[in-house]
Structure 1
Amino acid sequence: MVSSKITAVFSLVAFAVIHSLTASLPFKRLVMRVAGPEAEKLYLPAYSLTAVLTILPLIYQLYKNPGRVLYKISSPWRWLMVGGQLVAGTLDLVAYLDAPHRFKVSSQLAGSQASEANSLKIRGIYRWVRDPFLLSGLVMIWLTPVMTVNLLIVYILTTIYFYLGSLHWERRLVAQFGDEYREYQKRVHRIIPGLRGSVKESDQSSVNI
């Protein structure tokens, strides 16, 4: 019988492969070439739906075979942790709304030649943290009030995947925004809000320490 740990890891790897493939520029370039510019409006919703569908097998595996319980946080701390997870979950939406131009497929494919790339347009949460998606993801998984062996294994691997994904995403942003983003990297921390200071909105050269 296949170990539940192996099954969970396999499900995570399958998700990571599909998620990385659909997020890659070559795949986006292929979709745009085959489907045309009209595909851009549907790409992000389709990408998000694919991510949800491909993570479901992993969720099912962890629900069916969570493994030995390592710890279980009791109330009221349990609800504080769940509340933190909910707040972190809303951060993803806030992060997208604060920088929708970063996610336009045409701009990503055009790189530094895109008109949107002329300005990094620092707004909202990005004034304090460079990768709010990484921050949100880590908070959501590690504030889980019940930890099991299989969850711990998946969370450790997920943390590594999140961080590597963040490094790749920033390389893409450097290609898209150039020196402007490199300067931004020096002034705002990747994951800890306000650690290096905060960038003024619409003026990423000014920093409040």
Structure 2
Amino acid sequence: MIVDTFLIVLLFSLFAFTHSFLASNKIKERLIKNIGEKIAFYRLFYNLTSIILFLAFLFLAPKPDVIIYDLHYPFDIITFVLQIISFIGLLWSLKGTDLKEFSGIAQLMRYIKGEYKLDDGDAIYNFRVEGAYKFVRHPVYLFSILFLGFRPIMDLFYFVTFICVVIYFYIGSLFEEKKLVQKFGMMYSEYQKRVPRLIPYKIFINKWSNR
């Protein structure tokens, strides 16, 4: 079991390192210097590569027959309901997101039309403070964690992978915010002071202080 856990963590770490390395500004800046406007293809390449690497992780990682817990009625129903609520929260977080830009399709369309700008880099990033972003700076990460965590049956592979995902989301948010501070400057720094990173604790603090 220890060996299996180690291998799961190792393989996920390899995926996470590659995923983060390909997302780094240094890689993108080098590509812009070498291929210019063809950087428009990079976002789609990055997303497809990420999918392939994660599928490789799922295929190669050991899956020991060890059950951490198995919830029974009514707790399994409660967990399932919480998972649905988390999924709704995830959709709420994605509201207003340009999925074509996120996937890389919009970049290709601009390139084909001759409208792509090198200043766009691999994607156009927007500074959002509405909706779920009023409560946490990374609501997509938060609701993804909740959706993945609320599970009526938890085996060892899923549990270890889930812990790795939570850690990776947190570390990823640190690097992501460095990019956002570079891009949006004091505006984003002020936003960081007002809104928590992942846990919306200020909602409860504000309600308590208003009593």
With the length of structure 1 as denominator, give the TM-score of the two structures: 0.71
C-alpha separation between the residues in 1 aligned to 2:45 and 2:118?
16
Note the aligned Cα RMSD (angstroms).
3.4
Report the equivalent of 2:68. Answer: 70
CA gap 1:150/1:49 in 2 versus in 1, 3 angstroms: same
Gaps of 5+ in 2: 108-116, 205-211
**Aligned-residue offset at 1:126:** 2.0
Which residues in structure 2 correspond to 1:49-128 (within 5 Å)? 49-61=48-60, 65-74=63-72, 75-84=76-85, 86-87=87-88, 89-90=90-91, 93-94=94-95, 96-97=97-98, 120=127, 122-128=129-135
Cα deviation, residue 89, structure 1: 4.8
Aligned counterpart for 1:134 among listed residues 122, 141, 144: 141
Q: Which amino acid aligns with 1:73?
A: L
* 1:114-155 Cα shifts (integer Å, max 9, x gaps): xx89x9453333233211232133223212322122332222
Distance, in Å, in 2 between the alignment partners of 1:84 and 1:57 is 30
Equivalence map 1:148-163=2 (5 Å): 148-163=155-170
Change (3 A) 1:108 1:159: farther
Paired residues of 1:71 and 1:147 also in contact (CA < 8 A): yes
Equivalent pair of 2:19/2:50 in contact (CA under 8 Å): yes
What aligned pairs does 1:42-53 form with structure 2 within 5 A after superposition? 42-53=41-52
Task: Give me the whole-angstrom Cα distance separating, in 2, the residues matched to 1:182 and 1:15.
Answer: 30
Structure number with higher strand proportion:
1
Return the alpha-carbon distance in structure 1 between the equivalents of residues 128 and 190 of structure 2: 13
1:144 aligns with 2:151: yes
Partner SS for 1:36: helix
Letter aligned with residue 159 of structure 1:
V
1:29 equivalent in structure 2: 29
Q: Following the alignment from structure 1 to structure 2, what is the Cα–Cα distance between the partners of residues 4 and 165? A: 25
Larger radius of gyration: 2
TM value normalised by structure 2: 0.71
Task: For residues 146-201 of structure 1, give each alpha carbon's deviation from its aligned partner in whole angstroms, at most 9, with x where no partner exists.
Answer: 2122332222232222111111111111111111111111112212347259xxxx
Counterpart of 1:20 in structure 2 is: 20
Q: Write the distance in 2 (CA, Å) between the matches of 1:79 and 1:175.
A: 40
Structure 1, unaligned runs of 5 or more? 110-115, 198-209
- How many residues of Structure 1 are paired with residues of Structure 2 in the alignment? 185
Q: Which has the higher contact order (CA 8 A, sep 6+)?
A: 2
**Identity across aligned pairs (percent)?**
26
State whether residues 15 and 55 of structure 1, in contact with CA within 8 Å, keep that contact through their aligned partners in structure 2. yes
